[in-house]
């Protein structure tokens, strides 16, 4: 008996796929410290923010499109939109410019941001608009959420996605490294691109006691702002790999560790914890010296490290900002 299997109703498929994703995130423990975020992930439809995306293949990238005339391709797009993976949403000459972050990592960051009712939040790096929608769902559409991106094509498409989903945060086109002073002061800043340094403009636009959560050196730093030129905090336990910040504070080239790395045991070179220390110190110490610290201090995990940001310099530290292991970072 011939024929094709009946295609599932897209709304039903989206609902069941979203519910499965939320269960997967919840099982990871990401919502434990603030269960309110679970309701936001249950409510906000991620597929509306990724009408197309790119999937890596052996030869490069394959584009998945929600409006494909092939029902099977459309179903693959919809299922993929609710996988717990980052989705590449904008490419240029083979370079990834923007992505929709892995949902479980987004949950970790949103919980780590410590948002409270009434907080004014600035997001650096609009991307698809999905993260801004989650924030707007949590805080409401009363002008509390502002999101900024350098690329007008990104902000325009994000506005369309947000409108389709029924959320209306303030979307600004501009260099995120400068913040959005017209919307300040902020209680929280969340960053969705890797930083080479912490722009002073952000701290100046924050209220005292505000929190800045950002990817830095393959980790997530949670800084408390103590004044216009001073912030300090520790890293979360979670690894994080994001597209670099573009604009005035675009990322430096990766530091060269030289021949010293050849003298480091292979086990350490393959360790994510050791590679984090190398990325954090940004070449300010040699690989051999970094290995001796790492070995002597018991192979520290990310949360033992922190950053102190001053008016004229920034330094990383292990365990204690005033302790023996401090490294001034390149400005």
Query: Is 284 part of the annotated catalytic residue set?
Result: no
CA-wise closest residue to 235 among 218, 254, 222: 222
Q: Is the omega angle on the peptide bond into residue 88 within 30 degrees of 0, that is, cis?
A: no
Helical (H) or strand (E) element with 98: strand 95-100
d(CA 181, CA 231): 18
SS3 of 268-328:
HHCCHHHHHHHHHHCCCCCHHHHHHHHHHCCCCCHHHEEEEECCCCEEEEECCCCCCCEEE
CB 212 within 8 A of CB 298: no
Residue 80 φ then ψ, to 5°:
-65, -30
The encoded tokens of residue 226 equal: 């103590």
CB 187 within 8 A of CB 178: no
CB 22 within 8 A of CB 41: yes
Tokens 């992505």 belong to residue: 99
Listed in sequence order, the residues at least 6 apart from 110 whose beta carbon sits closer than 8 Å to its beta carbon are: 34, 37, 40, 131, 134, 135, 138, 190
d(CA 211, CA 222): 7
d(CA 66, CA 53): 9
Catalytic residue among 16, 28, 98, 128: 98
Helix (H, G, I), strand (E, B) or coil at 188: strand
CB 282 within 8 A of CB 312: no
CB 149 within 8 A of CB 173: yes
**Which of the residues are catalytic?**
98
């Amino acid at each position: 008996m011939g024929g094709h299997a009946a295609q599932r109703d897209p709304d039903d498929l989206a609902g069941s796929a979203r519910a499965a994703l939320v269960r997967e995130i919840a099982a990871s423990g990401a919502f434990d410290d603030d269960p309110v975020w679970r309701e936001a992930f249950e409510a906000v439809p991620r597929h509306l923010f990724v009408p197309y995306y790119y999937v890596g293949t052996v030869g490069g990238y394959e584009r998945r499109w929600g409006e494909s005339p092939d029902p099977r391709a459309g179903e693959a797009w919809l299922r993929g939109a609710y996988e717990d993976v980052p989705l590449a949403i904008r490419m240029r000459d083979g370079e990834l410019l923007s992505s929709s972050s892995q949902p479980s990592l987004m949950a970790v960051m949103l919980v780590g941001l410590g948002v409270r009712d009434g907080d004014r939040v600035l997001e650096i790096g609009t991307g698809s608009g999905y993260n801004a929608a989650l924030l707007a769902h949590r805080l409401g559409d009363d002008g509390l959420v502002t999101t900024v991106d350098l690329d007008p094509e990104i902000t325009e498409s994000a506005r369309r996605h947000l409108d389709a989903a029924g959320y209306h945060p303030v979307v600004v086109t501009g260099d995120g490294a400068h913040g959005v002073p017209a919307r300040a002061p902020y209680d929280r800043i969340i960053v969705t691109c890797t930083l080479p340094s912490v722009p002073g403009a952000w701290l100046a636009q924050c209220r005292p006691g505000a929190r800045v959560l950002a990817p830095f050196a393959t980790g997530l730093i949670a800084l408390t702002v103590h004044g216009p030129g001073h912030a300090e905090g520790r890293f979360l336990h979670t690894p994080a790999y994001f597209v670099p910040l573009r604009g005035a504070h675009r990322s430096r080239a990766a530091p060269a560790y030289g021949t010293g790395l050849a003298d480091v045991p292979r086990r350490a070179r393959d360790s994510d914890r050791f590679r984090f220390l190398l990325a954090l110190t940004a070449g300010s110490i040699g690989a051999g010296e970094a290995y001796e610290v790492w070995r002597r201090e018991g192979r520290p995990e990310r949360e033992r490290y922190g950053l102190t940001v001053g008016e004229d310099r920034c330094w990383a530290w292990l365990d204690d900002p005033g302790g023996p292991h401090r490294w001034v970072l390149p400005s």
